[in-house]
């Protein structure tokens, strides 16, 4: 155990106390009367004996060992780890919102219903989709709902033989998972040499069994699928629907409406694009927008405006039902609402502009030092390959670990799967030029180290509280229990 770990974990000292209770001023019953003998402990619990100051220092120190958007640049591709404005927390915490109970009748919750109604109107306008459900709890949940709606749509038309969903080989893993979980068979379509959906391969997969396609635009290589209208036409002509994974809407805000491209279903990740804290920092929210023919199947209840009053409307006979307790993750929706209102149309356009500019700035700075398999101008993120460094004996994992020594969080690695030794970088619009330059400098230094001193990279990280962990074991067999010796 390192000295630092000892400091954190071995601070217990016999007899030390963190609280001092006043003397008991009520009669004390015999223990047997309160707890039956068979349930009484035979030995006292082994708890750390610490003072209040010990506890405060312990947790403060622990919090400082962690990475977060509040402390570090967090270029985790596909995750849009942008700054979470504090005013959103203030707004979501207002008593009128945070102290409402979901069982309160609509007469008492008109303000909240109005907010949900208005929020839906705003995202409808931003995305060009006729209606949204705010129930999904995250992006993957929106995908699942989307697939359920695709099934309901075909079933209503008597086309129950449509059992296949097409998904590009660059897709995020949740796409095939959501399709398979909804009972569809997944068909993979290849990317072409430019990293875009191969139209010939797509045409070849068309058949009366196709229920639809899930596509991400911009895709996970950070490239805009410029043939999206043709892709939608191919699917529609074959009787299928097109689902757009909107996790990358940060690149399109205020500029492109997915509905206008021919998309039938689209989820938003409010916890990415619209600044909800995520990645351990808070729950998600993945509203799903749909085109006109899918409206009847959306979940209930839906907020409806009748004159000046808002009500919960359950009266949709073809609905697939509820997919979430109550009404969705309202706190995240309030934060997203505050974000949209505070930025307005021009502000949202600046978001996508700066997100794309920042990504291209980094892409250019790094392209002489790392392989760039798809060198086209990118959208809000781009994917490098560490295959040059691998020939020098240094893997992408080593590069990611070495970045920690330079005080940067690592990019997403080994995804998308079609890029060998992938490093997927998404700077977001909230980072300054200075931060981007410092990050590029660190990655360039690492590329040079890989040539001249590969062991410095292979042995990394050297400066973190713990070195290399078995991340798979930590996820599969989490052991969160501390045993005092
Ligand atoms: C492209 C893409 N699609 C879908 C998802 C799933 O979203 P969520 O994590 O909110 O379930 C992610 C998440 O990282 C993503 O990057």
- pLDDT (0 to 100) of residue 242: 98
Give the pTM.
0.91
CA dist., res. 77 & res. 338, Å (int): 25
What is the CA(272)–ligand 1 centre distance, in A? 9
Of 342, 367, 384, which residue is a domain's last? 342
pLDDT at position 57 over 60:
yes
User: Same domain for 283 and 386?
Assistant: no
User: Same domain for 333 and 449?
Assistant: no
- pLDDT (0 to 100) of residue 334: 98
Residue whose CA is at the smallest distance from ligand 1 atom 14? 79
User: Same domain for 244 and 286?
Assistant: yes
64, part of any domain: no
Of 342, 372, 391, which residue is a domain's last? 342
| Residue 49 tokens, joined | 């004996």
Say which CATH number the domain at 404 has. 3.90.1150.10
Contact partners, residue 115, CB within 8 Å, separation at least 6: 97, 333, 334, 337
Does a cis peptide bond (omega within 30 degrees of 0) precede residue 142? no
Count of structural domains within the chain: 2
- pLDDT (0 to 100) of residue 9: 61
What whole-number percentage of the chain has pLDDT above 70? 97
> Which residues form the pocket of ligand 1, taking CB atoms under 6 Å from any ligand atom?
78-79, 138-140, 172, 174, 216, 220, 245, 247, 269, 284, 286
Torsion of the alpha carbons at 351, 354, 356 and 360, rounded to the nearest 10? -170
pLDDT at position 7 over 70:
no
Which among 79, 173, 174 is the best mutation to test ligand 1's pocket, defined by most ligand atoms within 8 Å of the CB? 174
Say which CATH number the domain at 170 has. 3.40.640.10
> What is the pLDDT of the chain when averaged over all its residues?
94
User: Same domain for 447 and 370?
Assistant: yes
User: Same domain for 160 and 190?
Assistant: yes
> Which carries the bigger pLDDT value, residue 216 or residue 463?
216
User: Same domain for 426 and 283?
Assistant: no
439, part of any domain: yes
CA 206 to each of CA 49, 184, 197, 200: distance values in angstroms, whole numbers, following the listed order = 67, 15, 14, 10
pLDDT at position 445 over 60:
yes
First-to-final CA distance of the chain: 13
Of 315, 342, 369, which residue is a domain's last? 342
Note down the domain range covering 194.
Answer: 86-342
31, part of any domain: no
User: Same domain for 304 and 441?
Assistant: no
Q: H or E element: which one contains 312?
A: strand 309-313
126, part of any domain: yes
pLDDT at position 1 over 60:
no
Residue whose CA is at the smallest distance from ligand 1 atom 16? 78
378, part of any domain: yes
9, part of any domain: no
Contact 225, 253 (CB under 8 A): no
34, part of any domain: no
468, part of any domain: yes
What band does 481 get if pLDDT is binned at 50, 70 and 90? confident
- pLDDT (0 to 100) of residue 272: 96
- pLDDT (0 to 100) of residue 3: 55
């Amino acid at each position: 155990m390192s000295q630092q770990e000892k400091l954190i974990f071995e601070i217990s000292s016999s007899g030390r106390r963190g609280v001092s209770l006043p003397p008991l001023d009520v009669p004390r019953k015999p223990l047997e009367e309160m707890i039956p003998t068979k349930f009484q402990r035979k030995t006292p619990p082994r708890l750390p004996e610490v003072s209040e100051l010990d506890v405060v220092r312990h947790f403060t120190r622990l919090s400082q060992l962690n990475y977060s958007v509040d402390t570090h640049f967090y270029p985790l591709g596909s995750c849009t780890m942008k700054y979470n404005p504090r005013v959103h927390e203030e707004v979501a915490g207002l008593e009128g919102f945070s102290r409402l109970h979901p069982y309160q009748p609509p007469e008492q919750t008109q303000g909240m219903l109005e907010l949900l109604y208005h929020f839906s109107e705003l995202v409808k306008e931003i995305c060009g989709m006729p209606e949204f459900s705010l129930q999904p709890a995250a992006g993957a949940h929106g995908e699942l709902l989307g697939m359920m709606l695709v099934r309901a749509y075909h079933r209503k038309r008597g086309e129950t033989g449509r059992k296949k969903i097409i998904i590009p080989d660059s897709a995020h893993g949740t796409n095939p998972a959501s399709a398979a979980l909804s009972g569809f068979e997944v068909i993979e379509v290849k990317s072409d040499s430019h990293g875009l959906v191969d139209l010939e391969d797509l045409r070849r997969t068309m058949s009366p069994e196709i229920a639809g396609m899930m596509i991400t635009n911009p895709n996970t290589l950070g490239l805009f699928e410029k043939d999206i209208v043709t892709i939608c036409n191919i699917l529609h002509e074959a009787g299928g629907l097109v689902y757009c994974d909107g996790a990358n809407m940060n690149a399109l805000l205020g500029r492109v409406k997915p509905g206008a491209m021919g998309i039938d279903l689209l989820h938003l990740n409010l916890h990415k694009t619209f600044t909800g804290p995520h990645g351990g920092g808070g729950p998600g929210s993945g509203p799903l927008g749909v085109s006109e023919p899918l409206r009847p199947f959306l979940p209930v209840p839906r907020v409806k405006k009748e004159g000046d009053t808002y009500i919960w409307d359950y009266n949709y006979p073809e609905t697939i039902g509820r997919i979430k307790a109550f009404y969705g993750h309202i706190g995240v929706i309030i934060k997203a609402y505050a974000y949209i209102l505070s930025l307005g149309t021009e502000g949202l356009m600046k978001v996508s502009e700066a997100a794309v500019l920042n990504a291209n700035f980094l892409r250019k700075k790094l392209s002489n030092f790392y392989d760039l398999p798809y060198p086209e101008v990118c959208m809000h993120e781009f994917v490098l390959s560490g295959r040059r460094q691998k020939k020098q004996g240094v893997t992408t994992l080593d590069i990611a670990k070495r970045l920690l020594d330079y005080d940067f969080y690592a990019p997403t690695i080994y995804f998308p799967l079609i890029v060998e030794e992938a490093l997927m970088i998404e700077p977001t619009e909230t980072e300054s030029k200075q931060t981007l330059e410092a990050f590029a400098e660190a990655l360039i230094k690492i590329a040079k180290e890989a040539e001249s001193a590969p062991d410095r990279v292979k042995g990394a990280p050297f400066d973190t509280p713990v070195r290399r962990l078995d991340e798979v074991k930590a996820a599969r067999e989490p052991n969160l229990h501390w045993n005092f010796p």
